[in-house]
Amino acid sequence: MGPQEDPHLNYSEELWFEWFLDGIFNEDIDATGRIPIVHYLLDLNVLEPDGNGTFKLSRLNDGQSSQEVKKMLVDFLSSMGKTEKGFALVYFLSNTSAKELPLLITEEETTSSKRKNIFNKNYLPGDKKSSDLSNLQIVKKWGSQLRPFLDIEQKTIARLRNDFTSQEDAQWLFSYILNKIRKKSPAKKWEQLSRKRHR
């Protein structure tokens, strides 16, 4: 017996994970996501531990079928996805992740970072910029280009971490979210401009 027969009983994390993948969460979530997903649901008070290694759904009414419970949960999780605590849900729910996904940074953060970078110079006044970059200059350049991404990663992981969601869980959730956003972004054709100029 499992949640599909009676969602009111206590079950293992494996059974709950399979149940959530059937019509609630994206089917492309693999087995490595089981523990992070279950821990995230525990932090959102969707699942409750019973102390014996099994879990039960919270906020259930008696007499509801598995399909009725799923419909109720989809509505509840969609609403919770609009809150700060449940912000990541939109990337995992099968009914929302097919649509255009929000970015992980707010518009306010984007404009403030642009403002900070306007006067950010990697050379001293009077120094002549050279096209022959040293290793140190290359590392500095890559570091400054990667900084916004690393900041987003750190902030997102901090938002995801909670009583049950560990650092490792949060890193897996962030990786999954990032892959979802990448798939929705149109691919850009890469071209080496410096060589094109010298043809």
Tens digit of pLDDT for each residue in 26-73? 999 999 999 999 999 999 999 999 888 899 999 887 888 888 999 999
Output phi, psi for 119, to 5 deg: -105, 15
Question: pTM for this structure?
Answer: 0.71
- CA dihedral over 76, 82, 88, 92, signed as positive or negative: positive
**pLDDT for 195 beyond 80:** no
Arithmetic mean of pLDDT over the chain: 79
Residue 34: predicted pLDDT: 95
Residues 109-140: pLDDT tens digits? 444 444 444 334 444 444 445 455 677 666 66
pLDDT at 197 over 60: no
**What number is the average pLDDT over the span 164-193?**
79
Is it the case that residue 108 has pLDDT exceeding 90? no
Give the pLDDT of residue 189.
53
Specify the pLDDT at position 63.
81
CB atoms within 10 A of CB 183: 10
CB proximity list for 124: less than 8 A, separation 6 or greater: none
Per-residue pLDDT at 48: 95
Please compute the mean of the pLDDT values over residues 147-152 and round it to a whole number: 77
Q: Coil, strand or helix: which one is 49?
A: strand
